[in-house]
A and B are shown apart, each in its own frame.
Chain A
Amino acid sequence: MGEEIDNIENFEAKETSKKIPIGWQLLFWGLILWGIYYFVSYTPAISGWSQGKAYEESIGRGEAVPRP
Chain B
Amino acid sequence: MSDYQYDNETVKGFIISSIFWGVVGILVGLWISIQMWAPSWNIPPYFTFGRLRVVHTNGLAFGLGIGAIFGICYYITMRLTKRPLLFPKLARFHLYLFNAAIALAALSLFAGMNQSLEYAELEWPLDVGVVILWVIFAVNIFGTIIKRKEEQMYISLWFIIATVITVAVLYIVNNLSIPAGLFKSYHLFAGVNSANVEWWYGHNAVGFIFTTPILAMFYYFLPKSTGIPIYSHRLSIIAFWSLVFAYLWTGAHHLIYTPLPDWIQTLAIVFTIFLIAPSWGSVVNGFYTVGTDWSKMQTNYLTKFFILGITFYGLQTIQGPTQGLRVVSQLIHYTDWVPGHVHMGTMGWVTMTVAASIYYIIPRIYDTEIYSEKIANTHFYLVLIGQLIFSITMWITGIQQGALWKAVNPDGSLKYTFMETLVRNYPFWKMRTVGGVIFTIGMLFFIYNIFMTIRKGKSLAAAKA
Contact = CB atoms under 8 A, between A and B. Distances in A.
B is a partner of A: yes
A53 to B, nearest CB: 10
Contact of A27 (B4, B154, B280): B280
A12 B326 CA distance: 40
B80 A6 contact: yes
Nearest to B228: A13
B378 to A, nearest CB: 22
28 contacts: A1-B364, A2-B1, A3-B1, A3-B367, A8-B154, A10-B229, A11-B220, A11-B223, A12-B230, A13-B292, A14-B229, A16-B231, A17-B233, A18-B232, A19-B235, A21-B284, A23-B284, A24-B280, A24-B281, A28-B242, A31-B274, A31-B277, A35-B273, A42-B262, A44-B263, A45-B263, A59-B412, A64-B412
A13 B410 contact: no
B269 interface: yes
B90 interface: no
Interface of B: 1-2, 4, 6, 79-80, 82, 150, 152, 154, 219-220, 223, 227-235, 238, 242, 257, 262-263, 265-267, 269-271, 273-274, 276-277, 280-281, 284, 288-289, 292, 326, 363-365, 367-369, 410-412
Given A24-B277, A38-B270, A17 B232 contact: yes
Contacts of A50: 262
B82 A6 contact: yes
Given A9-B229, A16-B231, A24-B280, A43 B82 contact: no
Contacts of A11: 154, 219-220, 223, 229-230
A62 B292 CA distance: 60
Interface of A: 1-6, 8-14, 16-21, 23-24, 27-28, 31-32, 34-35, 38-39, 42-45, 49-51, 59, 64-65
Nearest to B260: A51
Contacts of B410: 64
Nearest to A54: B326
Contacts of A18: 232-234
Give me the 3 closest cross-chain CB pairs, A-B, nearest first.
A64-B412, A35-B270, A13-B229
B262 to A, nearest CB: 5
Given A3-B364, A12-B230, A44-B262, A38 B235 contact: no
Contacts of A9: 229
Nearest to A23: B284
A50 B265 CA distance: 11
